[in-house]
Amino acid sequence: MADRKPFVGGNWKMNLHGDEAVALAEALAEQFTATDKVDVAVCPAFPYLAKVADALGSSDIKVGAQDFYIEPNGAYTGEVSLSMLKDCGVSVVLVGHSERRHVIGETDVLCNEKVHAALEAGMEVILCVGEKIEQREAGQTDAINTAQTAYGLAGVDAEQMSKVTIAYEPVWAIGTGKTATPEDAQNAHAAIRNFVRTGLYNNAVADGLRIQYGGSMKPANAPELIGQADIDGGLIGGAALKADDFCGILNAAL
């Protein structure tokens, strides 16, 4: 849909220590010229959020967090609240990244609670969905994506959906160098959008919803992926750790 503004996120995961994170943020702030044609966010590790926000300065690059806890404060050892993240300049949060679902063990129920908590706190949400290789091979790609989408968005109003982006990240494509073909990715995105249109919301929500692709997106394959009708940007891991690569992908989205 031509009039959806692409959204490109850099998920730095558990990479880049303080100076490296700041240097990358400074390089991005310098190389990325503000434009109203693409939304951009980077998600550093918790300890460097505030430093990265400072380094991004007045650039239009938003600061995102890779995770948070649903409660506002209290006895939740090791957790970080949404208001703490806001203090650090965060305005976007990831929910349900496959590494949190499959490595840390987050459930669909917790993902849904996180979506609600983040929207109530005024954050933008990137809800991640995607199938594992054995699910793909069993022909379950669309079933997994629609189930994770339905669970994640349960109880979310149509009006709140303007603050939600979905990231389709096939688990087998993350960090492996294996990218979904543009056709496969397009089919998965179209199925998610169709489900949002007919199973969850309506035409307006489905047509406005941005669906990012994530999984070994690089400057070389980004133009063809982002060129697909239902792919509205990317959620980038490895290639987000280098300013030139990330900016190459941003240029593809422009």
**Terminal CA-to-CA distance of the chain, rounded, Å?**
14
Is residue 224 among the annotated active site residues?
A: no
Q: Which two tokens stand for residue 121?
A: 């706190």
Annotated active-site residue in 99, 106, 131, 169: 169
In the complex, least distance from residue 77 CB atom to ligand 13P, rounded to whole angstroms: 26
Is residue 17 among the annotated active site residues?
A: no
Q: Does 216 bind ligand 13P (CB under 6 A)?
A: yes
Residues 31-50 that bind ligand 13P (CB under 6 A): none
Q: Dihedral sign, CA of 10, 15, 18, 21?
A: negative
Which range touches ligand 13P (CB under 6 A), out of 14-22, 32-40, 109-117, 209-217?
Answer: 209-217
Q: Does 125 bind ligand 13P (CB under 6 A)?
A: no
Among 215, 222, 230, 249, the residue binding ligand 13P under the rule CB under 6 A is: 215
| Distance (Å, whole) CA 245 – CA 24 | 11
Which range touches ligand 13P (CB under 6 A), out of 20-28, 70-78, 80-88, 235-243?
Answer: 235-243
Considering beta carbons, is residue 99 or 201 the nearer one to ligand 13P? 99
Q: Does 175 bind ligand 13P (CB under 6 A)?
A: yes
In the complex, least distance from residue 157 CB atom to ligand 13P, rounded to whole angstroms: 26
| Distance (Å, whole) CA 201 – CA 155 | 11
Which range touches ligand 13P (CB under 6 A), out of 27-35, 83-91, 148-156, 210-218?
Answer: 210-218
Q: Which two tokens stand for residue 22?
A: 């700041």
| 8 Å CB contact between 161 and 208 | yes
Cβ neighbours of residue 239 closer than 8 Å, sequence gap 6 or more = 217, 218, 219, 245, 246, 248, 249
Alpha-helical regions (H) of 57-174: 82-87, 98-99, 108-120, 133-137, 141-153
> Binding marks (x or -) toward ligand 13P, 135..174, rule CB under 6 A?
----------------------------------x----x
* Closest chain position to ligand 13P (CB): 237
| Distance (Å, whole) CA 133 – CA 140 | 10
Among 21, 235, 249, 250, the residue binding ligand 13P under the rule CB under 6 A is: 235
Considering beta carbons, is residue 34 or 133 the nearer one to ligand 13P? 133
Residue type, 138: A
Among 7, 8, 11, 28, the residue binding ligand 13P under the rule CB under 6 A is: 11
Among 22, 29, 206, 217, the residue binding ligand 13P under the rule CB under 6 A is: 217
| Distance (Å, whole) CA 61 – CA 59 | 5
Residue 215: which region, alpha, beta or left (left: phi > 0; alpha: psi -120 to 50)?
left
| Distance (Å, whole) CA 6 – CA 109 | 28
Q: Residues in the site for ligand 13P, rule: CB under 6 A?
A: 11, 97, 169, 174-175, 214-217, 235-239
Q: What residues act catalytically? A: 97, 169
